Amino acid sequence: MPLAAWVILAAALFSIGLYGVTSRRGAIGILLSVELMANAVNLLFISFGRYRGDHLGQVFTLFAVALTVAEVVIGLALVILLHRVRRSDVRVDEVKELHG
Amino acid sequence: MSLPIELALVALFTPAAMAVILALVPPLRRTGRPAAWLSVLAASISLGASVWLFADQLGHPSRDLLESVRWLPHAGAAMANVGLRIDGISAGMTLVVTLVAFCVQVFSLDYMRSEPAADLGRYFTYHSFFIFSMLLLVLAPNLLQLFFGWELVGLTSYLLIGFYFKKPSAAKAAVKAFWVTKLADTGLLLALVVLYTHTGGFEWTSHPGAEVATIITLLLFVAVMGKSAQFPLHVWLPDAMEGPTPVSALLHAATMVAAGVYLIVRTNPLFAQAEFTREVMVWIGSFTAVFAAVIACVQTDIKKVLAYSTCSQLGYMVAALGAGSVMGGYFHLTTHAFFKALLFLAAGSVIHAVHSNEMSDMGGLWKRMKLTTIVFVIGSVSLAGIPGLAGFFSKDLILEGMLESGHTVPWLMLLGAAFLTAFYMGRVLFTAFFGELSEKAKHAHEGGWEMQLPLVLLAIPALGAGYFASRFAGMWHLEYELHLNLEAGAASGLAILGFAVAYVMYGRGAPVATPAILRPIAKLAASGVLDRFYEGLYRVLGLKLAGAVGFFDRYVVDGLMNLSGYLALTAGQKLRRLQSGNVRDYVFVVAFAIFALSAFGILR
Amino acid sequence: MIDRIAFGVVALLLLLSALRVVTSKNLVHSVLWLGLTLVTTAGAYLLLSAPFIASIQILLYTGGVITLMLFGVMLTRRGEDIAIPNESSEGGRALILSLATFGLFTGAVLKTPLPQEAPPFTGSTAELGREILGPNLMAFEVLSVLLLAAMVGAIVIARRRDPGSQRPSLGLRIEAEAKSQEGKS
């Protein structure tokens, strides 16, 4: 099994996530896409670690997973706050207070 | 660090510290008299240190100390040094400055009594600051530090002339003094630049070659003409009399205006290399001496008489230095500081008593103010050069130097000035102090002890300083020998004659009438022809130049400024669209940046 | 041969589910498709001889994150209806960008000489544990602090009122501010 196959798979996953992040309108939709991208990166770590022949990739993935969880927690808290302020579906393009 | 250096540091920084404290602690400054006493305390400490320093120097006449630290480091080497140079010349001048400053401050305690407390504090703050600035100049080891002191005394002069800044004439006089002296100071600045380019330093002992030395010294002399009020840049000095009288005594008679002469004495190694500059100095000095003396004869304001007299005496010093008689110039500077400060303070005492500057308001003051009259007589006689008093020795030395160097015409001019000096001083004496008691003088009385003590203190050196001439000359590594010959006799004779003429004309208490021959001169002096000339020059050249510069500034410089401002504004207007506030746009930008950075990393 | 078939199945499932995550019109469906993606990724980890990480993936992501996401969705929905819209817009530029990124990465991978066959793997979970708590202990501890901070932060942001205080929470203050702004405009 060539390593290139795994890497291209991860790249495809990442690109799909990127598409989601840039096209979704809802905050939760964007969060889901970010999860996809993070997942692609984790897959990349594991693949490279496997072909290196040691545990370093797995260690790093473990840390990255924990980081992602923290990010999801904060992201969802923000979404809930936004929902309370807006009393609506959380559509990010409705939040324009920072426009110039 | 040796004892003299420590003493000089005390003398230098005690007034500086006091000035800083008074300036930075307004509640203390605004208390008025306590602040004044603190300033006097600082001045007396400074004086004490100077006396000690001078006495120490007298014990080691040939000592020449230099203590300096590197300053303005540039490319590994220091561009200049800052520090203290203590030799006979600076030690002597330090004593003169601190002694006169101390006397003037004590005098001011009474003279300025009626000022509001806040103004009194301000006045003494300036005075403390002046002592520091002047000593900085006097003790400077090189021209650069001297320049700093030079500018600082110019600033103090401005502040003190404009002390009554609510009075339009005082404010105008301050600006005029500042303007004229700054114009002249440009010469000093340029001299510094030339000196640095040719020698890589600011030492006055360097030898940049005769031509360069001539250029440098000519530039220096321009600055001297401004500071020491030489014709035609003397116009600010009479106006400077708008300041309080003690200020005139300290700055505009004894010390600050003498800074120009001191500069020449210090930089004499340079001047010695410049034949042409010294010739110029002889002629300008002699002409100023006569010219100012003539104008002094027709003034009716006692302070103006003394101001023109100062001009005239500074002319003597400059001429003497030009003729190569350093001892004459410097010694006259010293004795003049004492008797002219004495005269000004005595005049201040009179003004304080009769509340007027006009001599016609005075008269018969002898009957009311014995001490003031006595010291004024001492000062006048000393100034006129009557044998036996301080002024005689120094003036005789100058005249002798002129003749020795072969300047016969300037010598004659200075002799004439000596006659005129005695005449105008006699005129002041006989009209103001003798004769009928005038209306305003009826209630005149002596000031408090604060005013009397300085008069006595200054009268002593005005009387006796001449007898120490040879001691001083030893300290300054100069020759001094008193020749009682025909020339000395001629000068003294002319002085006595001057007093005699004055007695004949004014001795019977006649009103101050201008003698017929002097009337055209009086008219000329009153018309302020030089002021008009400067004004015309200013209108023709200055305003046109300013107009051209203004045009350039308004349409070219401002145009560029406005253009760049307009561009920035427009760009901002366009760019703010980027800040749509739309999170998805931002997300897209971030995503695109990731892509772009990856592309950069991969395709590089 | 068998690993290639396994890879093909995993890759196909992964890509399909991921595509449904970003294209599904219903937000709940998106979340569920994400669950499938994550589970399939765990399968990929198994293929890469990382069973411990695979189990973490299922426990943490599929058990934790997906549940959290569903909570988020349910808490912020409007109306009673189960079909929660998950709209997309302006797909054009997003599509171009993601395709360009994919092309770029693929090109880079193909240009780089990468190993064809994986070396025999001798590791074990016990060794992984020693690795984490040995040389990487510092990072591990720092991470625990980060998680604590994230927890506190989430509570502060989302809470309604500070206990024992009359002051409304940060969230409610922002809310009130937003309302007063609306009232003004």
pLDDT of residue B363: 74
Band of pLDDT at residue B143, cut at 50, 70 and 90: confident
Average pLDDT, stretch B346-362? 82
Is B140's pLDDT higher than 70?
yes
For residue A93, the 8-state DSSP code is: G
Residue with the bigger pLDDT between C178 and C21: it is C21
Predicted local distance difference test score (pLDDT) of residue B91: 86
Contact B441, B364 (CB under 8 A): yes
Q: Which of residues 2-31 of C touch A (CB under 8 A)?
A: 3-4, 7, 11, 14-15, 18-19, 21-22, 27, 30-31
**Interchain CB distance below 8 Å, C101 and B588:** no
pLDDT: is B61 or A86 the higher one? B61
**Residue A7 is nearest to which of C109, C157, C174, comparing CB atoms?**
C109
Q: What is the pLDDT of residue A11?
A: 93
Subunits with 3+ C-beta pairs closer than 8 A to A: B, C
Give the minimum alpha-carbon distance from C164 to chain A in angstroms, rounded to a whole number. Answer: 21
What is residue C40's three-state secondary structure?
helix
Residue C8 lies in a domain: yes
Q: How buried is residue C41: exposed, middle or buried, by Cβ count under 10 Å (0-12/13-18/19+)?
A: buried
Cα B335 from Cα B398, distance rounded (Å) = 13
Among all chains, which residue has been given the structure tokens 């206990």? C163
The pLDDT of residue C168: 63
ipTM of model over 0.90: no
Side chain identity at residue A63, one-letter code: F
Give CA–CA dist B587/A93, Å, rounded. 11
Distance CA B327, CA B172 (A): 37
Question: Residue B340 CA to chain centroid, in angstroms?
Answer: 13
Q: Give the per-residue pLDDT at B486.
A: 67
Find the CB nearest C97 among B584, B591, B602.
B591
Q: Which of C97, C102, C112 is the best substitution to test chain B (most B C-beta atoms within 10 A)?
A: C97
Look at residue A93 in the predicted model and tell me its pLDDT: 61
Percent of chain B with pLDDT over 70: 91
CB contact under 8 A, C93 and B588: yes
Which residue matches tokens 């004949």? B504
Lookup: tokens for C135: 């040389």
Q: Band of the pLDDT at B521, cuts 50, 70, 90?
A: low
From chain B, pick out residues whose CB is under 8 angstroms from the CB of A93: 582-584
For the record, the structure tokens of A52 come out as 């290196």
Per the domain annotation, does C4 fall within a domain? Answer: yes
Averaged pLDDT, B86-115: 86
DSSP class per residue in B452-519 = HHHHHHHHHHHHHGGGGHHHHHHHTT-------SHHHHHHHHHHHHHHHHHHHHHTT-------GGGH
pLDDT of residue C13: 92
Say yes or no to pLDDT of A12 above 90: yes
- Chain C residues closer than 8 Å to A48 by CB: none
Report the pLDDT value the prediction gives residue C29, as an integer from 0 to 100.
Answer: 86
Contact A46, A61 (CB under 8 A): yes
- pLDDT of res. A17: 92
Q: Cα-Cα-Cα-Cα dihedral of B446, B129, B115, B105, to 10°? A: -10
Say what the pLDDT of residue A13 is. 94
Identify which of B323, B298, B294 has the alpha carbon closest to the alpha carbon of residue B311: B294
B587: chain A residues, CB-CB within 8 Å: 21-22, 30, 92
Is any Cβ of chain A less than 8 angstroms from the Cβ of B574? Answer: no
Q: What confidence score (pLDDT) does residue B510 get?
A: 54
Whether residues C37 and C92 share a domain: the answer is yes
| Chains with ≥3 CB–CB distances under 8 Å to C | A, B
CATH topology of domain A3-94: Helix Hairpins (1.10.287)
Of B148 and B529, more confident: B148
How crowded is the C-beta side of B132, counted as CA atoms within 13 Å? 20
CA B596 to chain centre: 70
Question: What pLDDT shows up at residue C118?
Answer: 79
Which of A14, A44, A84, A88 is the best mutation test for C, with the most CBs of C within 10 A? A84
Query: Cβ contact (<8 Å) for A93 and B591?
Result: no
**Region B538-554: what's the mean pLDDT?**
77
Stretch B352-380: mean pLDDT: 81
Contact C117, A38 (CB under 8 A): no
Highest mean pLDDT among B51-65, B151-165, B401-415: B151-165
Nearest CB to A2 within list C101, C102, C114: C114
Residue C118 lies in a domain: no
Q: Give ∠ CA B207-B410-B150 in degrees, rounded to 5.
A: 45
**Strands B77-86, B65-74: pairing kind:** antiparallel
For residue C87, pLDDT beyond 60: yes
Rounded average pLDDT over B523-551: 71
Q: Identify the residue among A86, A93, A95 best suited for mutation to test binding to B, counting B beta carbons within 10 A and taking the highest.
A: A93
The pLDDT of residue C41? 93
Look at A22 and B577 and tell me if their CB atoms are within 8 Å.
no
Looking at the domain assignment, is residue C21 inside a domain? yes
Length of chain B equals 604
Chain-centroid distance, C-alpha B383: 19
Q: Which positions in chain A touch B591 (Cβ < 8 Å)?
A: 18, 21-22
> Does the structure show a pLDDT above 90 at C78?
no
- Give me the domain span that covers residue C166: 124-185
A 22-81 residues with CB below 8 A of C?
22-26, 28-29, 31-33, 35-36, 39, 42-43, 46-47, 49-51, 53-56, 58-59, 61-63, 65-74, 76-81
Per-residue pLDDT of B286-332, as tens digits, reads 888 888 888 888 777 888 888 888 888 888 888 888 888 888 888 88
Q: Give pLDDT tens digits for C127-182.
A: 888 888 888 899 999 999 999 999 898 888 877 665 566 666 666 666 677 667 66
B268-277, B371-380, B468-477, B490-499 — which is least confidently predicted?
Answer: B468-477
pLDDT for A40 beyond 90: yes
What are the structure tokens assigned to B64, written together? 């020449």
Could you give the number of structural domains in chain C? 2
Q: How far does Cα B13 stand from its chain's mean position?
A: 20
Question: What's the pLDDT score for residue B447?
Answer: 76
pLDDT > 90 fraction of chain B, expressed in percent and rounded: 1
To which residue do tokens 């003094």 refer?
B177
Contact C69 A72 (CB under 8 A): yes
What is the per-residue pLDDT across B430-455, written as a single tens digit (0 to 9) for each?
A: 888 877 777 776 777 777 788 888 88
Domain containing C19 — which CATH number?
A: 1.20.120.1200
Residues of C in contact with A92 (CB under 8 A): none
Average the pLDDT over each of A13-22, B14-23, B568-577, C5-14 and give the range with the smallest value. Answer: B568-577
Mutate to test the interface with C, among B595, B597, B600, B603 (most CBs of C within 10 A): B595
Higher confidence at residue B334 or residue B523? B334
Instruction: Tell me whether residue C37 is in a domain.
Output: yes
Query: φ, ψ for residue B373 (rounded to 5)?
Result: -60, -45
What DSSP assignment string belongs to C108-166? HHHHS---SSPPPP---HHHHHHHHHTTTHHHHHHHHHHHHHHHHHHHHHH-SB-TT-S
CA distance A40 to chain C (A): 9
pLDDT(B529) > 80: no
Q: Per mean pLDDT, which range of B25-39, B501-515, C12-26, C123-137 is the poorest?
A: B501-515
The answer to whether residue A89 scores a pLDDT higher than 60 is no
pLDDT of B550-603, one tens digit each?
888 888 888 888 888 889 888 888 877 777 667 777 778 888 888 899 888 888
SS3 B70: strand
Domain identity same for C17 and C82? yes
- Write down the pLDDT at residue B527: 63
Q: Among residues A20, A25, A24, A57, which one has the least CA distance to residue A35? A: A20
Give the nearest partner residue to A93 out of B575, B577, B583, using CB atoms.
B583
Those residues whose C-beta lies under 8 Å from the C-beta of residue A17, and which sit 6 or more positions away, are: A33, A34, A35, A36, A37, A38, A39, A40, C18, C22
Q: Which residue of C has its CA nearest to B590?
A: C97
Examine the pLDDT at C114 and tell me if it is beyond 80: yes
Residues of chain A with pLDDT > 90, as a percent, come to 29
Interfacial C residues in 95-154 facing A (CB < 8 Å): 95, 97-99, 101-102, 105-106, 109-110, 114-119, 121-123, 127-128, 131-132, 136, 139-140, 143, 146-147, 149-151, 153-154
The mean predicted confidence, pLDDT, of chain B is 82
Chain A residue with the nearest C-alpha to that of B575 = A100
Worst-scoring range by mean pLDDT, B24-38, B316-330, B460-474, C147-161?
B460-474
Same-domain check for residues C86 and C14: yes
Confidence of residue C45 (pLDDT cuts 50, 70, 90): very high
The residues facing A24 across adjacent strands are C88
More confident residue, B295 or B136: B136
Domain boundaries, chain B: 1-141, 535-603
> Which region among B256-260, B539-543, C23-27 has the lowest average model confidence (pLDDT)?
B539-543
Q: Residue B276: what pLDDT?
A: 87
Cβ of B595 and C107 within 8 Å? Answer: no
Chain C hits for B588, CB-CB cut-off 8 Å, are 93-94, 97
Least CA distance to B599: which residue of chain C?
C104
As a whole number, mean pLDDT of residues B334-348 equals 87
pLDDT 10s digits, B166-194? 888 888 888 888 888 888 888 889 988 88
